């Protein structure tokens, strides 16, 4: 892959040329590179962007849009310092160039898409969110990522009245929420989130929040509260009538006065199929389980 970028007529060998193709592709990188995109990178279905074997950064410009597609994997990329995209023409397939209204400045925006996996990435300092999953996106897994230096980290759900987000199912597992994060790890609207075996190194406001009656199962996480006595609570509800919302905690570890306020009745267990299900470790194991969060350091000739 080359760091060169043309949003309308991408050259073969560039990342944009690869991600817009109509056929399934596994995209790898021949060398280290910093890719400064000239406009949002619109990813087509059945694409794997695999940064293993090189140090690959998407930074200092618009970043990644996953819209109306399925089966996308983003692995081993550093995505940081993302800027809003300009209104203008952007190619989304070999046969289609569309007029775009300008992107918000998310590191990764997932819009009306399914079967998405974001794994072993580094995400920091975007203009808007680090990851937004909205407009009835579902079957999204966010795993083994390192998040740092950001305000509104992750949004799951478009707005409080967008009832189509009821189909949303998101799994957050083995992520490390590091220094300099303020809120939304994640913030959930309407849909379902399984938050499992993640490490939280403090937060400025709260860790897990939501509105519009989402279901949240916090399982086997490791929460380290900030020293600020008014910010010890893990949870935050953007409503007053939240007592029946299903928010449950199991096997979590709470450090430095952190605490989770549960609510609701009945099971909030994840709706996985037999193939999708996995065993969640107790929270005390999380520092080890998340020790390799972020892009992997791969060695030539060895499995990675």
Asked if the bond preceding 186 is cis, omega within 30° of 0, the reply is yes
Helix, strand, or coil here: 18?
A: helix
**Rounded Cα–Cα distance for residues 205 and 187 (Å):** 12
Catalytic positions, written as ranges: 184
Q: Pick from 187, 199, 192: which is nearest to 267 by CA?
A: 192
Listed in sequence order, the residues at least 6 apart from 96 whose beta carbon sits closer than 8 Å to its beta carbon are none
Listed in sequence order, the residues at least 6 apart from 12 whose beta carbon sits closer than 8 Å to its beta carbon are none
Q: Pick from 191, 199, 162, 204: which is nearest to 270 by CA?
A: 191
- Cα distances (Å, whole numbers) of residue 192 to 44, 84, 137, 178, 217: 25, 28, 11, 24, 8
């Amino acid at each position: 892959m080359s760091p060169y970028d043309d949003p309308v007529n991408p050259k073969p060998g560039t990342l944009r040329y690869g991600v817009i193709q109509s056929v399934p592709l596994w995209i790898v990188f021949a060398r280290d590179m910093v890719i400064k995109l000239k406009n949002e990178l619109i990813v087509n279905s059945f694409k794997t962007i695999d940064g293993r074997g090189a140090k690959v950064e998407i930074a200092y410009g618009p970043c990644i849009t996953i819209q109306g597609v399925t089966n996308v994997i983003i692995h081993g990329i550093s995505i940081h310092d993302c800027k809003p995209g300009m209104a203008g023409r952007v190619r989304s397939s070999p046969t289609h160039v569309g007029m775009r209204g300008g992107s918000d400045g998310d590191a990764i925006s997932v819009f009306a898409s399914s079967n998405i996996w974001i794994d072993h990435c580094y995400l920091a300092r975007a203009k808007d969110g680090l990851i937004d999953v909205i407009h009835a996106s579902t079957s999204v897994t966010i795993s083994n990522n390192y998040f740092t230096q950001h305000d509104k980290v992750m949004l799951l759900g478009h707005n409080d009245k967008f009832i189509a987000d009821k189909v949303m199912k998101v799994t957050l597992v083995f992520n490390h929420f590091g220094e300099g994060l303020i809120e939304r790890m994640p913030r959930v609207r309407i849909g379902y989130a399984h938050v499992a075996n993640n490490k939280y190194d403090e937060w400025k406001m709260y860790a897990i929040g939501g509105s519009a009656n989402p279901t949240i199962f916090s399982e086997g996480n490791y929460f380290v509260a900030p020293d600020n006595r008014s910010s010890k609570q893990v949870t935050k509800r953007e409503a007053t009538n939240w007592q029946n919302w299903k928010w449950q905690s199991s096997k979590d570890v709470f450090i430095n006065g952190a605490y989770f306020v549960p609510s609701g009745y009945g099971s909030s267990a994840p709706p996985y199929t037999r193939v999708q299900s996995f065993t969640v470790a107790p929270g005390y194991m999380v520092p080890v389980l998340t020790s390799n969060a972020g892009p992997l350091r791969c060695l030539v000739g060895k499995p990675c």
